[in-house]
Amino acid sequence: MKLLLLLVVVGLCTAQYNPNLKSGATSIVHLFEWRWADIAAECERYLAPNGFGGVQVSPPNENLIITSPNRPWYERYQPISYKLCTRSGNEQQFRDMVTRCNNVGVNIYVDAIINHMCGAGGGSGTSTTCGSSYNANNKDFPAVPYSYLDFNDGKCSTASGNIENYGDANQVRNCRLVGLLDLALEKEYVRGKIVAYLNNLLSIGVAGFRLDAAKHMWPGDILAITSRLNNLNTQWFASGTRPFIFQEVIDLGGEAISSSQYFGNGRVTEFKYGAKLGNVIRKLNGERMAYLKNWGEGWGFMSNDRALVFVDNHDNQRGHGAGGASILTFFDARLYKMGVGFMLAHPYGVTRVMSSYRWTRNFVNGQDKNDWIGPPSNSDMSTKSVTINADSTCGNDWVCEHRWRQIKNMVIFRNTVNGQAFTNWWDNGGNQIAFGRGNRGFIIFNNESFNMDVTLNTGLPAGTYCDVISGQKEGTRCTGTQITVSSTGSARFIISSSAADPFIAIHANAKL
């Protein structure tokens, strides 16, 4: 009885760290800028059957329509109200998506923008995704309603009213992030409006929130809001289940604000992960894969049970928010697959896979002048639907990294090895590495410019396994490379440095 009580208490206070994934799933995917109707279909036809546990969706609330430049993706980070209508769809379509995804066991996490409304220079009128009126000059958002009384300007001491120095925590939290009207989150009235918005989403059935710009909010203000959130909808979740919270804090070190200040509220995005993994895979700054042996806390990352990890996100894949030359993206597909493969094989963190749309980059002095380009769109600027080709890739310029065989199969690998220890590490001192996950899975990389031929202990039971990178198990055969594990657990791996994908992964559910 005492133990039960303890478990209940521990469960309650750790709940917001748990993504509440179902049927053994371990990863979520960010379907950036997708329409709700396409996400609903994707949950049913692809995500649930392939072991994806959840979707991070783009902000669902009404936003400013920006026409100069023409409908940038980032207009969705300029809220006008908490009405559920955007280029991704209306409220009815949002509800239909949440219902259909939940019905097949795929969770929906909402990107919640609660730090600010639209930019101070956003003008006035009704040119918004729901047609609500607003006046940025007077800080008037009648569809919430918020008035000038609900914003922070009085507490900001910079001349511009914007954040000018990230070394000053007061500025970072009380001044405007790139000119965005900063909400006074200590006000009971403002908190109430935000809580009502998030609780409405919870009642519809969402499983948690990405808190946008968390660095720009006081941790105590966030807690005052999240502690008033309802439990998840019992139509799909056990009663008493708390919403999953992951906070967007970019902490690469050297600023006034650190990730650890947010651990009490939920998980935090670990931006060091993708930045450093990019350096390793690209072999920048003298990094090599052998150094990944103590990847995780050993690299100065936050504790495993607080981290939300990813190789790239919608900002840094295009040079926004801590973007840099090291970040791996679909533009460097071969390296990207290795990076995502490593992330999904390694036990650290809750993993998020990025799913993007294509745009034409235009670098001028190292800066992509096309970093603003919005999702694939029709001539009326409505978002194009995601079409599916015969080979299961996507059309209409949707990249669908999550459907790349290598990435999809590594999502399944992670589910298969869930809970298993990090074992049987091997490296050549350079850029050839291998490791296992108990007796359930094994992965090996050759990121050298020379070929590899090694026999290693895999920790797996004897048998013939399908490499899930060059192919996969289909029926009773492998469509790609086959690996034979001996009765002692050892196997020979040959990887050419010029292989299309210079890595091999085998696991218990891909055994013949």
Give me the residues that bind ligand QV4 (CB under 6 A), please: 74-75, 77-78, 113, 119-121, 162, 177-180, 212-213, 215, 248, 250, 315, 320-322
Q: Which residue has the tokens 């950036």?
A: 32
Inter-CA distances, 416 with 102, 442, 480, Å: 22, 11, 19
Q: Please choose which of Ca ion, ligand QV4, none residue 179 contacts, taking the beta carbon within 5 to 8 angstroms, the exact cut-off set by kind.
A: ligand QV4
212 near Ca ion, rule: CB under 5 A? no
216 near Ca ion, rule: CB under 5 A? yes
| Minimum CB–partner distance for residue 321 and Ca ion (Å) | 16
182 near Ca ion, rule: CB under 5 A? yes
Q: Please choose which of ligand QV4, Ca ion, none residue 182 contacts, taking the beta carbon within 5 to 8 angstroms, the exact cut-off set by kind.
A: Ca ion
- Which H, E and C letters describe 113-180, residue by residue? CCCEEEECCCCEECCECCCCCEECCCCEECCCCECHHHECHHHCCCCCCECCCCCCHHHHHHCEHHHE
Q: Which is nearer to ligand QV4, 73 or 342 (CB)?
A: 73
Which among 38, 75, 182, 248 is annotated as catalytic?
Answer: 248
Instruction: Indicate the residue type of 120.
Output: A
Q: Which is nearer to ligand QV4, 98 or 177 (CB)?
A: 177
Tell me if 493 sits within 8 A of 434, measured CB to CB: yes
| Minimum CB–partner distance for residue 399 and ligand QV4 (Å) | 18
**Per the structure block, which two tokens stand in for 393?**
């890739």
**Per the structure block, which two tokens stand in for 494?**
């040959």
Q: Which residue has the tokens 């350096």?
A: 279
Instruction: Indicate the residue type of 31.
Output: L
159/171 Cα distance (integer angstroms):
11
Q: Which is nearer to ligand QV4, 287 or 371 (CB)?
A: 371
Q: Is 75 a catalytic residue?
A: no
Q: Which is nearer to Ca ion, 216 or 306 (CB)?
A: 216
Q: Please choose which of Ca ion, ligand QV4, none residue 215 contacts, taking the beta carbon within 5 to 8 angstroms, the exact cut-off set by kind.
A: ligand QV4
Q: Please choose which of ligand QV4, Ca ion, none residue 339 contacts, taking the beta carbon within 5 to 8 angstroms, the exact cut-off set by kind.
A: none
**Per the structure block, which two tokens stand in for 287?**
């990094």
Q: Which of residues 106-125 bind Ca ion (CB under 5 A)?
A: 115
* List of residues 6+ apart from 264 with CB closer than 8 A: 219, 223
Please state, as a whole number, how many other Cβ atoms lie within 10 Å of the Cβ of residue 333: 16
Q: Please choose which of Ca ion, ligand QV4, none residue 454 contacts, taking the beta carbon within 5 to 8 angstroms, the exact cut-off set by kind.
A: none
Which among 38, 62, 212, 501 is annotated as catalytic?
Answer: 212
Residue sitting closest to ligand QV4 (CB): 179
467 near Ca ion, rule: CB under 5 A? no
Q: Is 315 a catalytic residue?
A: no
Which residues are catalytically annotated? 212, 248
